[in-house]
Amino acid sequence: MINIDTLPLSKVDGSVYRVILSRYPQINLFERVSSPQDWDILYAIEHLTNPRLRDEVGDIRLVRPEDRVYGDGASWIMAAFTHPPVDGRGGRFNLDFGVYYCSSDEEVAIAESWYHRARFLRESRIDDTIQEMRVVHAQLGPTTLHDVRQLIGHAIYHPDDYSEAQQLGHTLRDADSFGIHYQSVRCDGECFGILRPKVLSDAIHWRYLRYHYHQGSIIEVDSLDGNDRR
| pLDDT digit string, tens, across residues 38-92 | 666 666 655 555 555 555 667 888 999 899 998 888 889 999 998 899 888 999 9
Give the pLDDT of residue 37.
62
Residues in a beta bridge with 130:
212
User: Can you tell me the distance from the alpha carbon of 132 to that of 223, in angstroms, rounded to the nearest whole number?
Assistant: 10
Give the pTM.
0.88
14 SS3 class:
strand
φ, ψ of residue 212 to 5 degrees: the values are: -100, 115
Per-residue b or e along 147-162, where b marks 16 or more CB atoms closer than 10 Å to that residue's CB: bbeeeeeeebbeeeeb
Between CA 230 and CA 226 the distance in angstroms is 12
